[in-house]
Amino acid sequence: MNFYTDDLPIIACSTGNVSNTAIAVIRLSGFKSLLSLQPFFSFNLAKVKKRFSHLTNIVSEERILDNVLMVFFPKGESYTDENVLELSVHGNLLNIQIILDLFILKGHFRSAHPGEFTYRALKNKKLSLSQVEGLDMLLNANSSLMLSQGLDILQGELHAQYLRLYNSFLKLKAAVEISIDFSEDIGESESKLLFNDSFNGFLSILDSLHSRTQGNISSLLSPELVLVGQTNAGKSSLFNLLVKHNRSIVSSVAGTTRDYISEVIQVDGTNYSLIDTAGIRESSDEIENIGIERAFEILNRAFYKILIINPFETNPDYLAKLVDVHFDFLIISHSDRPDFLSKVSDLDLSNISTSLIASASFATGSIGPLSNNGSIGPGSKSGSIGPRSNSGSIGPETLIEIGPIEPLVKNLLSKKFRHESANSPILLERHRHCINNIHLKAQLFSLKINEIDDVAILSSEVNIFSNYLSELVGIVSADDVLNSIFSNFCIGK
Ligand SMILES: Nc1nc2c(ncn2[C@@H]2O[C@H](COP(=O)(O)OP(=O)(O)OP(=O)(O)O)[C@@H](O)[C@H]2O)c(=O)[nH]1
Ligand SMILES: [Mg+2]
């Protein structure tokens, strides 16, 4: 791996230079001494107090380039563990480039590679590998769940848990060594007791971490809310109500939406991709069929699935294509039209699996129970509306609230997200992989404990945890692990 091998002083704008802003922060790291930078500043650098803001001009050949605030972090007390200077400059893109060029051309700095400041922090042991991943998650988070877990890995509870697990492993190793070296002094049963105690301590921390790696987290990392149904069901109408503008084309022509359309909506601090899809039907149009295939692909992976049925235009053959999917919400649209209830009673929904059901008018933007009295509605030909899950026979809940659609759907979405993330799942795949492997090895190990009486053999067996544990707390840093982590980082980080 060709990874940042030199230790030249580096410089970059750390605040993302894509548009003009009031202030931008330029970071310089790895210069020999602060005084060597005197030619670039009007402030007497001999008088600089560390970690203190000073107002100064940046100068070039007696010309003032900018009036900035600078903070000096000396070697050993900085993010990278090198001499670091942070300059809060005026955030005009041209201004930023002129200042960067000044230090590159006349100060022997070079432009930092993406993630290089953090790489130096890792190299100089200011951050562990796990903390670097936490930082990455924090900076790239698209939900409050990821934000708080990023922070947790960086400095909080999760990192502390990993260290607790690692320390309890060291205790376990020590218990084995003691048993070998002093078994004659403390007795075999006593040494086995000591060993079992340490192993149980290790297991209890491991189990609580392991429980947080269960379940599918991919839909929590980039959650999607998908709207599906037949043509003219009202998918695009609902899509526009949720994004609050006419983004998707709505028309009475069946098959208006041919490919999926996606917009990000933010609900309770989480970004969701809201996706409008092509209506499901038999079509001779090749392009439309690709759109329908895509609708099914998204449906299979989406976090929240809404099925919309227009009781005035329902084809049972097309509905039959959806029997394998469990929907979070079934909305029967066009409730403002006369004859709505009698049309609903003609529907056979017995094979549709959903958790919740409601009626709605996308023409007025309101949603409510399926019937006026708030009960589960007129039912289907077979006398029941589909099972709640594929396996169970419990019917779906019917919505009991009446009101505007947009806040209600967002509320349901966020309720599911809170529910699914209630056990604080560990989101980083590498960590999940390490924990699952340690857990598997621990299960095999506990079987061996009962079979093996020779502590010397247990001593060599206990080392099987070592690699994964070191990787989890970030003590070893295999090149490929480094590569995959740093490929996400941007310049100035
Ligand atoms: N009265 C009434 N009209 C609706 C309702 N929902 C949708 N419509 C109308 O039904 C027609 C189809 O709506 P769309 O939102 O385009 O339906 P779609 O599911 O996106 O249809 P495709 O893109 O063809 O798959 C439009 O003319 C809408 O104005 C509703 O609840 N009540
Ligand atoms: Mg549409």
pLDDT in tens, 285-333: 999 999 999 999 999 999 999 999 999 999 989 989 999 999 999 999 9
CB-neighbour burial class of residue 195 (10 A; exposed 0-12, middle 13-18, buried 19+): buried
Q: What pTM was estimated for this model as a whole? A: 0.74
User: In the predicted model, what is the mean pLDDT of residues 408-426?
Assistant: 90
Neighbours of 101 (CB within 10 A): 13
Give the Å distances, CA to CA, from 177 to 101, 180, 192.
Answer: 59, 5, 12
Cα 256 to middle of ligand 1, angstroms: 10
Distance CA 410, CA 329 (A): 12
At residue 192's C-alpha, the angle toward residues 189 and 194, to 5°, is 110
What is the CB < 6 Å shell around ligand 1? 229, 231-237, 250-252, 254-257, 279, 333-334, 336-337, 361-363
Q: Which of 26-40, 150-164, 266-280 has the lowest mean pLDDT?
A: 150-164
User: In the predicted model, what is the mean pLDDT of residues 420-442?
Assistant: 87
User: In the predicted model, what is the mean pLDDT of residues 52-77?
Assistant: 96
Cα 441 to middle of ligand 2, angstroms: 51
Distance CA 27, CA 200 (A): 48
Closest residue to atom 6 of ligand 1, CA basis: 234
Q: What is the pLDDT of residue 154?
A: 79
Local structure of 449: helix, strand or coil: helix
CB-neighbour burial class of residue 153 (10 A; exposed 0-12, middle 13-18, buried 19+): buried
Nearest to residue 133, comparing CAs of 492, 490, 489, 491?
489
Q: What is the pLDDT of residue 184?
A: 65
Neighbours of 67 (CB within 10 A): 12
pLDDT band at 119 (very low <50, low <70, confident <90, very high): confident
CB-neighbour burial class of residue 399 (10 A; exposed 0-12, middle 13-18, buried 19+): buried
| CA of 253, closest atom in ligand 1 | 24
User: In the predicted model, what is the mean pLDDT of residues 204-214?
Assistant: 92
Cα 314 to middle of ligand 1, angstroms: 13
480: pLDDT strictly greater than 50: no
Decide: 275 and 302 in contact? Cβ < 8 Å.
yes
Q: Strands 366-368 and 403-404: what pairing?
A: antiparallel
Q: What is the pLDDT of residue 458?
A: 73
Encoded tokens for 453: 């009486």
pLDDT band at 232 (very low <50, low <70, confident <90, very high): very high
Q: Which of 3-7, 237-241, 432-436 has the lowest mean pLDDT?
A: 3-7
Q: 333-379, pLDDT tens digit by residue?
A: 999 999 999 999 899 888 899 999 999 999 999 999 986 433 333 33
Neighbours of 215 (CB within 10 A): 12
Closest residue to atom 11 of ligand 1, CA basis: 252
Contacts of 164 (CB under 8 A, 6+ apart): 205
Q: What is the pLDDT of residue 468?
A: 82
Sign of CA dihedral 297, 285, 233, 321: negative
Contacts of 265 (CB under 8 A, 6+ apart): 225, 242, 243, 271, 272, 274, 410
Chain-centroid distance, C-alpha 377? 39
Containing 64, the helix (H) or strand (E) segment is strand 63-73
Residue found under tokens 């526009």: 240
The residue to mutate among 250, 252, 292, 318, having the most atoms of ligand 1 within 8 angstroms of its beta carbon, is 250
Q: Strands 261-267 and 53-60: what pairing?
A: unpaired
Q: Which ligand is nearest to the CA of 313?
A: 1
Q: 78-95, pLDDT tens digit by residue?
A: 999 999 999 999 999 999
| CA of 254, closest atom in ligand 1 | 24
455: pLDDT strictly greater than 70: no
Q: What is the pLDDT of residue 300?
A: 93
Cα 340 to middle of ligand 2, angstroms: 21
Encoded tokens for 195: 């060993």
Q: Which domains does the chain have, with CATH numbers?
A: 10-127 (3.30.1360.120), 138-214+427-474 (1.20.120), 218-420 (3.40.50.300)
Decide: 296 and 330 in contact? Cβ < 8 Å.
no
Distance CA 216, CA 449 (A): 32
Cα 134 to middle of ligand 1, angstroms: 44
Q: What backbone torsions phi and psi does residue 169 show, to the nearest 5 degrees?
A: -70, -40
Q: Which ligand is nearest to the CA of 361?
A: 1
Radius of gyration of the CA atoms of the chain, in A: 30
Chain-centroid distance, C-alpha 206? 23
CB-neighbour burial class of residue 392 (10 A; exposed 0-12, middle 13-18, buried 19+): exposed
| CA of 229, closest atom in ligand 1 | 19
Q: What backbone torsions phi and psi does residue 326 show, to the nearest 5 degrees?
A: -100, 125
Distance CA 394, CA 60 (A): 76
Q: Which ligand is nearest to the CA of 246?
A: 1
Q: What is the mean pLDDT of the chain?
A: 86
Q: Which ligand is nearest to the CA of 240?
A: 1
| CA of 237, closest atom in ligand 1 | 15
pLDDT band at 382 (very low <50, low <70, confident <90, very high): very low
| CA of 255, closest atom in ligand 1 | 24
| CA of 250, closest atom in ligand 1 | 16
Local structure of 427: helix, strand or coil: coil
User: In the predicted model, what is the mean pLDDT of residues 155-184?
Assistant: 79
pLDDT band at 391 (very low <50, low <70, confident <90, very high): very low
Cα 142 to middle of ligand 2, angstroms: 27
Q: Which ligand is nearest to the CA of 336?
A: 1
Nearest to residue 88, comparing CAs of 38, 129, 35, 28?
28
| CA of 361, closest atom in ligand 1 | 31
The residue to mutate among 228, 230, 231, 236, having the most atoms of ligand 1 within 8 angstroms of its beta carbon, is 236
Decide: 202 and 174 in contact? Cβ < 8 Å.
no
Encoded tokens for 420: 């699914």
List, as ranges, residues with CB under 5 A of the ion ligand 2.
235-236, 256-257
192: pLDDT strictly greater than 80: no
Decide: 24 and 15 in contact? Cβ < 8 Å.
yes
